[in-house]
Chain A
Amino acid sequence: MSWEDNEQMLLGNIQSIYYFVPELLLSFFIFIILFMDLLKIDQKVIYALAPLFLLITFMVQTNLDIRSVYLFEGILRYDALGVYFKYFTYIVLFVVVLISLSSNETNTKATTTFGFLPAEYLMLTFGLGIGMILLATSNNMLMTYLAIEFLSLLSYIATGFKFKNKKSNEASLKYVIYGGVASGIMIYGISFLYGMTGSLFYNSIGSFLTNQPTYNVTLFVSILFIYAGLGYKIATIPMHMWCPDVYEGAPTPVTALLSVGPKAAGFILALRLFYEVFSVNFQDITHINWPLFIAIISVFTMTLGNLVAIHQTNLKRLLAYSSIAHAGYVLMGIASISILGQQSVLFYLVVYMLMNFGAFLVVILISNRYGVEEIEDYRGLAWKTPYLGFIAVLMTIFLLSLTGLPPFAGFIGKFYLFSAVIEKGPSYYWLALAGVINSVISLYYYARIIKAMFLEEARTEIALVDGDTQVLGTAILSVLAFFTLLFGIYWGPVFEVITTIFASL
C-alpha cells in the first residue's frame, strides 16, 4: 500500500496539479467573485453565476481519470473515495447556493435587513467546499489539522454572518471556543502519534502500527485525542455541545450546509483514519479495540441526540439534535469495520444530504413567509392554503425519511447501516438493537412536527404574509423530495456506484 513500494503512485508537485485542477478552479472562482464584488457588479449577477461556476468545476472533474495516487509528495490522496466525495461536495455546494438564494436571510434581500454581503457569503461557501475536499483527501496529519482549522475558521465566520443578530454572534463565539479547544486537543494527539511513529503520513503511520505488537497506552491516548478533533467536526458526544447553539444561531442555509458538508467530510476522514490507518484489511491493528470505542460513542450519541430532541421547541434546534443522532447512526457503520460498513456510510451521506437539506429548506421557506421557527407556529400549517399544504406534505416526507420509515430513502440508508452491524455477528447485536430503539424514539419528535402541521388547529395570531411565490425554493424542495422517495423505492444505481468505488480500491 505505501508509496515506498511503488514510485508510480507518488506524484511530484508539478505532476499533481493536473489532478488538483478542480480545486484550483474553485479557488480561482473565489477570486473572480471577489473582483466582481470590488467592481460593484450587481449582487444578483454574482449569485446567478455561482451555480454556473460549480457546474464548470463539476464538468472539469468528470474529465479526470480515477486512479489511486498520492499528490504533492504524499500530502493528499487522489483515489475513488476522494473523487466520490468531490462530486458529493460540488452537489452539496450547488444545492446550498440555490437554498441560499431562496432564503431571505442570505439572498440579496438580506443585504439591508441583516447587513448581509452576498458576495462574501458565496466566497465563504466555496471556501468551505475546498476545506471539505482537503479534509477528505488528506494523507498527512498536518494537512488534516490544517484542513480542520481552515474548515472551522470559515464555519465560525459563516455562523456569525448575521452581523446584527445577537444569537448569530453568540453562536459564532461559542463555536470558536469549542473549535479552539477541540483542535488543540487534536494537535496534541497528533504530536503523540508523530513522536511514536516518526511520521505524519497516513501510510507510514499505518505500516508502523502494523508492526507494533502490543497494546500501547500512548497510542490509545493519541487516538482518543485525535478523535476529539474528529468528533467535534461530526458532532458526537462529548464534543457535540456547540452544535445546537450554532445551528440555531446561524443563518439557516449555513446551518443546512454545516449539518451536511463538514460533517460528511468528517466521516470520510473517519473512514480514512480508522479503515486505512488504524486497521488493515478490516482488522483492528491498534490493540485498543477501537470498533468497540466507536460503537459506544455511537450509542451514547444517538441516544443523547434523540432524548434531548424530544424536548426542543425550536425547529432548528430540534434538527440540530436530530443531526447529532444521525451522526450516531453513521458511526454504527464505521464501528462495523467491513466493506458493507464503508458502503453504508457513503450511502447514508447521500440520503442524509437529501432529507436534511429538505427539512432545512422547509424551515427556510416557512420562515421567509412568517418569520417563525418554533414548532408551535407550525400548527395547522397543512390546512392554511394549498401551497402550504404541499410544503407540509413534503416536510412529512423528509421527516419520515429521517425517522427511517419505508418507502423513503432514509429507511434504505438505515437498512444498510443495520445490515453492516448485523453482518458482524452476535457481538454486535446490542449495537443494532440500540439503533432500532433509537429510531423508534426519534419517531416521537419527528411526528410531533407532523402532528403540529396536520393534526392541530391553526394558530390565528400568525397572519398570512403573502410574499413571493418562492418558485425556486419550492422547485428545489420538490426535487429533493422526489429523490428521497425515488431512492427509497429504487436505489440500485446509487449503491452500484458506491460498490464500484470499493472494487477499484
Chain B
Amino acid sequence: MELINEHLLSLMVFLPLIGAMLIVLLPKSSEQSFKWIACITTLLPLILAYKIFVLFNRDVAGLSINQGFQFVEKFSWIPAFNIEYFLGIDGLSILMLLLTALLCPLCILASWNINKGLKGYFSLFLLLETGMMGVFCSLDFFLFYVFWEVMLLPMYFLIGVWGGPRREYAAIKFFLYTLVGSVLMLLVMLYFYFMTEPHTFDITRLIAEHKNFLGFGHILWFALYIGFAIKIPVFPFHTWLPDAHVEAPTAISVILAGVLLKMGAYGILRISYPILPEATLYFSTFLAIMGVINIVYGALCAMAQKDLKKLVAYSSISHMGYVLLGMASFTEEGINGAVLQMFNHGTITAMLFILVGVVYDRAHHREIDGFGGLASRVPVYTGITAFAFFAGLGLPGLSSFVSEVLVLLGAFQKFTLYTIIAGTGIILGAAYFLWTIQRVFLGKLDAKYAELPDINIREILSLAPLVVIVVVLGVYPQPVLDLMKASLGYLNSVVGG
C-alpha cells in the first residue's frame, strides 16, 4: 500500500504501458482478451485518479519550489546531463489528469466494435494514454518533451490504419504539423537549459530563474506559442484538425478533442506562463485576439459544414478560443474559467464524438442533410444528442455555461471590445447546434432509416458518466473549482502581478 501511495503518478502513467506490452506479447489467438486487458489497464488509473482526487490538498500552491507540487516523485535519470525523472501535479494538472483517466476507459468502450488489427489498436491506444498522462505529470522539461512526442506515434498509426478513406493524408498531416511545433519546443528547451546555472531541465528551477531568459524572451515565447498553438489548434494552424477528426475512428476523435487539444493550452499555462512571464504579459492581448478569432471563425466554419464530425471539430476550435481568451485576461475568473472550460470541453466533445460515432456505425455516413426526422425512430439517441448539443451551446444549468460565463466575466474586465465580439460566438454556437438538431432529428423520416436501431446499452454506458458530470458541474462546479483555485490564483499573481 505504502509503495502504491508513494508512486501514484508513476502507476497512473505506466499502468497502461504495462497493458500495452502485455497485449503485444500475447499471441494473436487470444485476441478477445485484448479488449479486457485494455479495459482493466485504463480502469485502474481511473481508480488511482479517484484516490488522487480525494488525497489532493486543495490549499497548496507554488511554482518555483517542489513543495508547490503534490505526489512528487524525483529521481536522477541521466546525471551527466542533469535530466531527472520528475513527476508532480498541482491544481492545473490534476484536472487534466482526471479528465484523461476518465475519458480513456470510455474510449475503450467506444472502440468495442473495432475488428481490424486488435493487437495494434489496443496496444497503441494504451501507449497513447501513457504519453498523455506523462505530459500532465512531468515537471522535468526533457521528460515532458519525451512524453509529448511519444503521443505522436500512436496517434499517427491510430488515424492512419484504423481511420476513414483519406486517413493516410490526415495522419501524415497531423504528424508533420505537430512535429514542427515540437521541434521548436526542443530548441527553446535547450536554450532554457544552457541559460540556467547549473544547467537543468527542472521546470521549478526554470521558473525560479526566469530572469535569465529575458534576452530572447519574446522570441522564445513565440516559438513555444507556435508549438502549443498547433496543438490547440489556434487559427491559422488549425487546418490539420478537421482532417484528422473526420478520418479518425470514434474513440480516437474523442481522445484528440478531449485530451490532446488541451495539451496546447496546458503547455502554455505550465511552461510559457511561469517561465516567461514578461513575454506572456506582452503577448496577452495577442493571445486574446487569437482567442476571439478562434471563437468566431470556428463557429462560422462549423455553421457551413455538411459533415457532422467536421461540425463538431470546428465547434472544438471555437470552444478552445474561450480557453485562450480566459487565459489571456489575467483575472481570477478568467483563468479559472479557462481551465474549467478545458475540462468541460473535454467531457462535452467526448460526448459529441461518441454520439456521431453511434449514428455513423448505423447509417454509415455523417451527412447532416442526409438524415431527417430521426427523432421519431431513435428517441433515446435523439434525447442524449440534444442534451449534448445543449451542453455544447452553453445552456444554463449545464457545465459549459459556467466556464464560458467565467471566461467572459474575466475577459470583460480587460478586453471589453474583444469580449463583446466573442459573445457573438455563443449566438453562433446556438445557431449551428440548433440548426443541426432541426436538420437531423426533426422533419420527415427518410424511408431508408425506418429500421435504424436505437442506441444500445454499451453506448449508453460510455455516455452516462459524461452526462452526469456535465449536469453536476453545471449546477455545482465548486468541487472542481476548489481543486484548481489555489494553484491558478498563485499562477495569476506570479505572472499577472
**Interface on A for B, CB 8 Å cutoff?**
383, 386, 400, 405-407, 411, 415, 418-419, 422-423, 426, 429, 432-433, 436-437, 439-440, 443-444, 447, 451, 454-456, 490-492, 495-496, 499
Contact yes or no, B160 A422, CB < 8 A: no
Contact yes or no, B146 A422, CB < 8 A: no
**A44, B172: Cα distance in complex, Å:** 46
Interchain residue pairs A-B with the least CB separation, the first 4: A436-B183, A422-B190, A406-B146, A455-B160
From 141 to 175 in chain B, residues with beta carbon under 8 angstroms from any chain A beta carbon are: 145-146, 149-150, 152-153, 156-157, 160-161, 167-168, 171-172, 175
Residue count of chain B within 8 Å CB distance of chain A: 34
- Say if the beta carbon of B442 comes within 8 Å of chain A: no
**A485, B190: Cα distance in complex, Å:** 22
From 97 to 139 in chain B, residues with beta carbon under 8 angstroms from any chain A beta carbon are: 117
**A11, B157: Cα distance in complex, Å:** 59
Contact yes or no, B161 A454, CB < 8 A: yes
Q: Which residues of A contact B146 (CB under 8 A)?
A: 406-407
**A247, B27: Cα distance in complex, Å:** 38
Contact yes or no, A419 B153, CB < 8 A: no
The residue from A405, A433, A439, A491 contacting B78, defined by CB atoms under 8 A apart: A491
**A422, B171: Cα distance in complex, Å:** 31
Say whether, besides A422-B190, A436-B183, A456-B168, A443 and B78 are in contact (CB < 8 Å).
no
**Interface on B for A, CB 8 Å cutoff?**
28, 77-81, 117, 145-146, 149-150, 152-153, 156-157, 160-161, 167-168, 171-172, 175-176, 179-180, 183-184, 186-187, 190-191, 193-194, 216
Contact yes or no, A492 B156, CB < 8 A: no
Most chain B beta carbons < 10 A, residue from A426, A439, A443, A495: A443
Interface of B is mostly: helix
CB distance from B323 to the nearest CB of A (A): 26
Contact yes or no, B149 A405, CB < 8 A: yes
Contact yes or no, A447 B156, CB < 8 A: yes
Contact yes or no, B179 A423, CB < 8 A: no
Contact yes or no, B187 A440, CB < 8 A: no
Contact yes or no, B183 A439, CB < 8 A: yes
Contact yes or no, A400 B153, CB < 8 A: yes
Contact yes or no, A418 B190, CB < 8 A: yes
Contact yes or no, A422 B194, CB < 8 A: yes
Contact yes or no, A455 B161, CB < 8 A: yes
Q: Which residues of B contact A495 (CB under 8 A)?
A: 78, 80-81
Contact yes or no, A440 B179, CB < 8 A: yes
Contact yes or no, A451 B176, CB < 8 A: no
The residue from B28, B152, B157, B183 contacting A454, defined by CB atoms under 8 A apart: B157
Say whether, besides A386-B28, A406-B145, A455-B168, A422 and B161 are in contact (CB < 8 Å).
no
Q: Which residue of A lies closest to B215 (CB)?
A: A426
Contact yes or no, A419 B175, CB < 8 A: no
Most chain B beta carbons < 10 A, residue from A444, A455, A495: A455
Contact yes or no, A451 B183, CB < 8 A: no
Q: Which residues of B contact A454 (CB under 8 A)?
A: 157, 160-161
**A436, B193: Cα distance in complex, Å:** 17
CB distance from A324 to the nearest CB of B (A): 20
Contact yes or no, A451 B191, CB < 8 A: no
Say whether, besides A386-B28, A491-B78, A492-B80, A406 and B150 are in contact (CB < 8 Å).
yes
Contact yes or no, B150 A407, CB < 8 A: yes
**A150, B160: Cα distance in complex, Å:** 48
Most chain B beta carbons < 10 A, residue from A426, A436, A456, A491: A436
Q: Which residues of B contact A433 (CB under 8 A)?
A: 187
Q: Which residues of B contact A496 (CB under 8 A)?
A: 80
CB distance from A302 to the nearest CB of B (A): 13
Contact yes or no, A436 B172, CB < 8 A: no
CB distance from B197 to the nearest CB of A (A): 13
**A406, B83: Cα distance in complex, Å:** 15
Contact yes or no, B191 A422, CB < 8 A: yes
Contact yes or no, A499 B183, CB < 8 A: no
